[in-house]
Structure 1
């Protein structure tokens, strides 16, 4: 079936995807910070928000929008600055937020089901990924390597591989959420360091935003 779609080296593709998803970045940081602060459920919701945002890039790449980002300096620059501004905004919110020294699981559960709770976590996770043009360019550079040259349906093959990559990332992202939630509940040092967690996470998000803003547009 895979050969008929023009897909090759599927095992290597899956393995490479797992290794890439294990590498810490803005997405992992977003998941872990919410799981540590508000429990496993919040971390899992953050993970699904990021997964949903990734589907935007998969569909866009399949339809050729990501190719536009790769060839149009203006399109890349606009999305780059929007994504960078959002990451810096999130970082500044973490740096200036009032945090509690320990996790109140009942309060976290109540907050996650109210206004601005799980839906907000999901939506912010969605934007964290969807507004990052580097994700679009990653798919454009990585996925075609596993599509047979001259495939009869390259767009379909691209979409299938993109969806597979994204679905395979879900267990890893959930694993990060579960591990962080477990540590927050059982490690006193983590409980006492929640104030500094937000500060460190905020500084890293600002750093990711600045790094994204400094990313050069693709050469035409």
Structure 2
């Protein structure tokens, strides 16, 4: 149970980590303009937002699934969203690059750090794609956890805790590699990364769909 939960958490964290969206550009911009301190403050805001969204999505998913009949509906809805997100990343997602090449760093006050923290929190929290992602993921993990009764709650906690820690670690590494990452974010490279993440989303969604349809929820 422990090994399966950790692997599932790492897989979800990897999907988040390699996705190229507005947050990664904000991390790079904060790191370059405000140094490592600004980048880390921004990431703490994003991480706090993810943690809150995970708690809320799991809470509401659990409420809706308590009727029994809605469990498969939630599972199917989550899998279809992941597949749709995968196709969007693979075929439709546009490459966005930053325009400003050189930004002078400034010395941050405590107020600046708090402001950057909340900018990361709000950017992530108000992103509909992030909310839908966590709803879909919560639904899929809820279904997978049924394989590990009576340790369902422990399984879900380990999955999401592993995911959040792994994602946070990846984001921290982006802060310290901001310059190198920025130089490699060409439209062509972003297109490749979007396609890779799209394939991962599709595989994850199809695996969940197959497990629900056959009644053998995939746990690995």
Normalising by the smaller structure, the TM-score range is: 0.5 to 0.7
Q: How does 1:44-193 map to 2 (within 5 A)?
A: 44-65=44-65, 71-72=72-73, 76=77, 80=81, 84=85, 95=95, 98-102=98-102, 104-106=104-106, 113=115, 117-124=119-126, 127-132=128-133, 134-148=136-150, 158-184=152-178, 187=179, 189-193=180-184
**Alpha-carbon spacing, 1:183–1:138, altered in 2? closer, same or farther (3 Å):** same
Output the CA distance in 1 between the equivalents of 2:69 and 2:103. 45
How high is the TM-score relative to the length of structure 2?
0.57
Contact 2:142 2:156 in 1 (8 A): no
Runs of at least 4 residues off by over 6 Å: 215-218
Aligned length: 191
Q: TM-score, normalised by structure 1?
A: 0.57
1:200 aligns with 2:194: no
Gaps of 5+ in 1: 1-8, 149-156
Superposed CA RMSD in Å reads 4.9
* Cα distance in 1 between the residues matched to 2:51 and 2:188: 23
Asked if 1:37 corresponds to 2:46, the answer is: no
Deviations 1:144-201 (A, max 9, x none): 22223xxxxxxxx5344423432333321221111110011xx4x434345x379827
1:103 positional shift: 5.5
SS at match of 2:99: coil
Is contact 1:43–1:174 with CA below 8 Å preserved after alignment? yes
Task: Return the offset for 1:37.
Answer: 3.2
